Structure 1
């Protein structure tokens, strides 16, 4: 367990940061009046996510590997963190869509149908809590693995 405590800690921090970001999005109106721009505005979260992986892998290098880490060690640490983030992401989606922005699905369905982006059936099938939980888990796992691979290149030390 001691081998993975740093990754678990940072996965919890990433989940908390994600919830704070959702609150910011809601406050800025990206989940209602500015929902048309929501998709690309959400990309502003990416640098913060990369920063979390950098900080996590730096801590792993410093505390666990005694300031020396190979690409493989850093990458595997990032993969473990990504797995924890993926496991926590359905909980984050549940909190987001039940407490932070419960009207999000209605707003995005209305927007998609009104602007002829989707039929009402396709919108209802796509914009729901179960689909978002699955997308969040898969997306955080795949995205975390990619981020880990890149960050590991810059953090390796011999």
Structure 2
């Protein structure tokens, strides 16, 4: 377990950042009167996600790999962190949609032209499943990119 302590710590930090972002979106009215900015706001969060992954990989490089980490080790670190995030995401989604913004689904359905289709898409079960799979896919992409920049560069002679 000690081997994955950094990934677990940063995975938990990611979830807290995700929930803080949701509170900011709620405060800015993104789940209500400013719903048209929801997609942009969601995309902007991934700037912070990249930063969190980069900081996690940098800490792993320094504290676990003694300052020498290759791309594969960085990707593996990112994968483990992504798995932690995916495991915690159902709890984060439930917290978001039950505590922070219970009006989210209703507002999204009401804003849609196809109410029946929207009701099938905008519900807690659907969002939990989507968030798990999206986390796994985007987490690996972010991990690969961050690992590329964090890896120890080979010295050329």
TM-score by length of 1: 0.95
Per-residue CA deviations over 1:109-138 (Å, capped at 9, x if unaligned) read 0001xxx2xx22111100000000011111
- Structure 1: gaps spanning 5 or more residues: none
**1:36: Cα distance to partner?**
1.8
Corresponding residue to 2:133 among 133, 138, 151:
138
Task: Answer whether contact 1:36 1:111 (CA < 8 A) is retained.
Answer: no
Partner of 1:154: 149
Tell me which residue corresponds to 1:125: 120
Partner of residue 88, structure 1 = 88
**What is the CA distance between 1:41 and its match in structure 2?**
2.3
- 3-state SS of the aligned residue for 1:33? coil
What is the RMSD computed on CA atoms of the aligned residues? Answer: 0.8
Distance 1:37 1:153 in 2: 31
1:8-59 Cα distance to aligned partner (Å, 9 max, x none): 0000000000000000000000000011221122211111110000000000
The whole-number CA distance in structure 2 between the counterparts of 1:143 and 1:91 is 19
State the Cα deviation string for residues 66-88 of structure 1 (Å, max 9, x = none): 00001101110000000110111
How far apart, CA to CA, are the structure 2 residues paired with 1:66 and 1:125? 49
Matches within 5 A, 1:9-158: 9-112=9-112, 116=113, 119-157=114-152
Q: Distance in 2 between matches of 1:78 and 1:88?
A: 15
- Structure 2 segments unaligned to the other structure (5+ residues): none
Runs of 4+ in 1 over 2 A off after TM superposition: none
SS at match of 2:30: coil
Give, in whole Å, the separation in 1 of the partners of 2:39 and 2:148. 29
